[in-house]
Amino acid sequence: MTSRPTNPEIDELASTASAARLHVDLSRIGSIVVCLSAAIFLLGVARELIIAHFGTETPLQDLRQIALDAEHSAAAYYSALLLLACATLLFAISRLTRRGGGSDVPRWTLLAVIFAAMSVDEAVSFHEVLITPLRETFDLSGMFYFAWVIPGAILVALLGLYYLPFLLRLPRRSASLFVLAGTIYVGGALGMEMVAGFLADAHGSLTASPYLVAAVIEEGMEIAGLTIFFLAVSDHLGRDWQTVDLRIEPRRRSAGAAVRRHQFGRASA
């Protein structure tokens, strides 16, 4: 019995032909997200209590790294990652809907793009660029002290109208959870932002106690809304797929090309 001759290039090609797979348990990931969200919020609350009691004249200074109402903090970084995770799941639903011949592929895809854009904005704060120009142009104050809430509210209203038929077509459980998550998130991001703006304008400071309380509630509602939405999207995806495989495929060469490259290498040696 003769053995089959081997070729290093072909063997290498065969070994990489199968894609690498990452097995993701959606229910377990959801539990981890809930714990992380609670930890981030509690750390932020603890920071405010410590600062209120001891001030900033401590070895840890103002503990900005765990502040809820601060840029480039653990809370902002976590929110950006959670938004990106939601965008990833939404994109997965879009692909699966396309394969199944569903009619809502554009809406799932647009929702994924929106959440990806929100993730970028959370990381670099594009929306805050609008505050000063709008405030000075229209002489805004009070609830509109943080002036970005005006275009933000208009955008939310337009998206709400666009997605209303989509929500009515969803399973009742998914639609209810989506609405709950959106209400909490928008209530924090826009509603409590307007309350915080009124308090900041009234006290002339972003460090006054009433403003800080409003800011903590705002950030807590945003994290809670995102957490519920992540669970809702995971639940919707998990109706048919309790687990998801992420597959990474290498670039493939034809076997003939591999043989030619190997032979050329030996001839030129």
Report how far apart, in Å, the C-alpha atoms of 189 and of each of 60, 175, 218, 260, 263 are. Answer: 29, 21, 6, 60, 63
Per-residue confidence band for 23, with pLDDT thresholds at 50, 70 and 90: low
**What's the predicted TM-score (pTM) here?**
0.81
Nearest C-alpha neighbor of 146 from the set 226, 222, 215, 72: 215
Percentage of residues in the chain having pLDDT higher than 90: 53
Q: What is the pLDDT of residues 196-235, one digit of tens each?
A: 999 999 988 788 889 999 999 999 999 999 999 999 999 9
pLDDT category, 240, cuts 50, 70, 90? low
pLDDT at 181: 98
Give per-residue burial for 86-99: e unless 16+ CB within 10 Å, then b. bbbbbbbbbebbee
All structural domains of the chain with their residue ranges: 24-241
pLDDT tens readout for residues 164-174: 999 999 999 99
Tell me the C-alpha distance between 100 and 121, whole Å.
32
pLDDT digits (tens, 9 = 90+) for 153-167: 999 999 999 999 999
* Structural contact between residues 136 and 157, judged by C-beta atoms closer than 8 angstroms: no
Please report how the helices 74-99 and 209-238 are oriented relative to each other, as an axis angle in degrees rounded to 10: 30
Phi and psi dihedrals of 88, rounded to 5?
-65, -45
Confidence of residue 266 (pLDDT cuts 50, 70, 90): very low
Report the Cα 191 to chain-centroid distance in Å.
20
pLDDT digits (tens, 9 = 90+) for 173-193: 999 999 999 999 999 999 999
